[in-house]
Structure 1
């Protein structure tokens, strides 16, 4: 197997920072390994240029789990002997209890659990009921000015809501979102590749961060994950399981693993700055790193080869947010 020497970097939106093409996500990541293994994985990731970590406090709304994955990440960083300047930290702010739970209080608690005084960027989570976006943009901008982080993005918002946030921020001299973190995979393409978001990428300078690219491990061959995995917009998960043999067939054609093909597919999208992966072993990280070379050599050819695996086409509305469960209007 061919390994990448070090992860290259791309800019996360025109106003965002340069980030590695791979970043490690946090949901059920750091609580799936022993303490020593977590420190080893963090150290290896940074050494290979995968020095961005998506870390959140999961205890809000449907994520009211009192999880400690963020606390364990902070412990792993300290055990690995990393200084704060050695890595990029992407936090999360939740809209489930906002504004009753203020962003200022959320970030204070979240950073304290990790053991730092600032993040580099944050992602504003999804929602079921639309918030006051004017207040959201204003409150986030205040935290940027307070030095808590330097840029922000959104998680599975509709393109229309993102556009409103961008235009309002510009008009008011506030800080606009610089990227969108969207569910994106060989099977789930309707929102990231649809016209509403494509226009944002082309005309608003928004970057794209791909999440859930392996469908909780299903697209890597773990067809029945034991851990909790992401939501299933459009109800297509069984179709994704059934399509795995075709993904494996394509991977064999390219001398790659299914996980590498799934990651490379997303990286070949011109707006994608990086892909979040939830590895829990060094061998998985090495396998994922090999996807970088695959994307560079065979990106468009590979995307053509998996064209038939677009499973939410005609099922999920490209203009919708995740919170609506995004059915196509009839």
Structure 2
């Protein structure tokens, strides 16, 4: 992995460090030309962002028959980037599990992207509490087969996350090592509250911050026309209202609002990396400024943004 001037962290306790910036796949690779995609991948590896989230969006509320994963795979092969310089994260969905098993999902995802394995993966959203003994066993079967190295969870209720950790210990198996949570300048309760906070503090889990720009609202001040993440707690209008203050503070630090949002997330010691979408190389370059800002002025960033926390009254246990 290319050397970084940023103090990179591991995604799991005792594991190898990962790039501090991570590029998502939802509504990303299908919003640029193939030439742009190749350029973004090459530059991402050079700019501390060689961690790629690769998901097949065609299940449950994401039944979109998206091509973004296929396009990423094509661009990755065309880029000529060495596999050893990348960290690839897959995604499993619980919407139709166990009717559609994890192995079938993972093999389909790998085939679509033209990959042979993922370094790690995220087990995604659910409506009803899953059969945890089976879930842990099924994920560990993928690890044993060499298809993936580790796993994490995506916006789970804290009760199920703790159940997964306990079940893994009971089975003598690998449990989740990180939590991919909605986290950013405005939404902090789930990651910093009494639910997940203790698991981050004692090193049981690390945090992968996602949806940090609230679908782009905190990066541009505009609501995008494309589909964006759920508005947990119905606070999106209040989040949009703080954008002028976010933009003002970003100007004081000499960065874009997006870079300020990334720096805020990185300034949390629990954060292993920050996942965002970049459909232009320019966005990647601008967000890279967050690394120096977080490294040199992280405490100042958090202090300046103290009044921008919007979701204090939203349940922090993940029971949305």
TM-score by length of 2: 0.96
Structure 1's 15 and 58: CA in aligned 2 closer, same or farther, altered over 3 A?
A: farther
Matched, 1:85 2:80: no
* Equivalent residue runs for 1:187-202 within 5 Å: 187-202=186-201
Distance 1:141 1:268 in 2: 32
* Partner of residue 156, structure 1: 155
Cα distance, 1:85 vs. partner? Answer: 2.4
CA-to-aligned-CA distance 1:166-200 (integer Å, 9 cap, x gap):
11111211111000000001100110000121111
* Partner of residue 58, structure 2: 59
Cα distance, 1:252 vs. partner? Answer: 1.9
* Partner of residue 111, structure 1: 110
Distance 1:196 1:172 in 2: 24
- After superposition, the CA RMSD in angstroms is 1.5
* Partner of residue 32, structure 1: 31
Matched, 1:171 2:170: yes
Matched, 1:283 2:282: yes
* Partner of residue 207, structure 2: 208
Contact between 1:184 and 1:266, CA under 8 Å: does it hold in 2? yes
Structure 2 residues not aligned, in runs of 5+: none
Helix, strand or coil at the partner of 1:46:
helix
Contact between 1:13 and 1:208, CA under 8 Å: does it hold in 2? no
* Equivalent residue runs for 1:123-162 within 5 Å: 123-162=122-161
CA-to-aligned-CA distance 1:95-145 (integer Å, 9 cap, x gap):
000000000000000000010110000000011111111111110011001
Distance 1:183 1:266 in 2: 11
Contact between 2:259 and 2:286, CA under 8 Å: does it hold in 1? yes
Cα distance, 1:204 vs. partner? Answer: 5.0
Distance 2:306 2:207 in 1: 20
Cα distance, 1:220 vs. partner? Answer: 0.8
Distance 1:5 1:126 in 2: 33
* Partner of residue 318, structure 1: 316
Contact between 1:179 and 1:208, CA under 8 Å: does it hold in 2? yes
Contact between 2:6 and 2:292, CA under 8 Å: does it hold in 1? no
Contact between 2:255 and 2:286, CA under 8 Å: does it hold in 1? no
Moved over 3 A (4+): 4-8
Distance 1:67 1:304 in 2: 40
* Equivalent residue runs for 1:244-255 within 5 Å: 244-255=243-254
TM-score by length of 1: 0.93
Contact between 2:6 and 2:295, CA under 8 Å: does it hold in 1? no
Distance 1:79 1:7 in 2: 28
Distance 1:5 1:161 in 2: 35
How many aligned positions are there? Answer: 318
Contact between 1:16 and 1:178, CA under 8 Å: does it hold in 2? no
* Partner of residue 238, structure 2: 239
Distance 1:5 1:205 in 2: 25
Distance 1:160 1:204 in 2: 18
Contact between 2:215 and 2:223, CA under 8 Å: does it hold in 1? no
Structure 1's 253 and 10: CA in aligned 2 closer, same or farther, altered over 3 A?
A: same
Cα distance, 1:79 vs. partner? Answer: 1.1
CA-to-aligned-CA distance 1:9-48 (integer Å, 9 cap, x gap):
2101215442111010100000000011101110111122
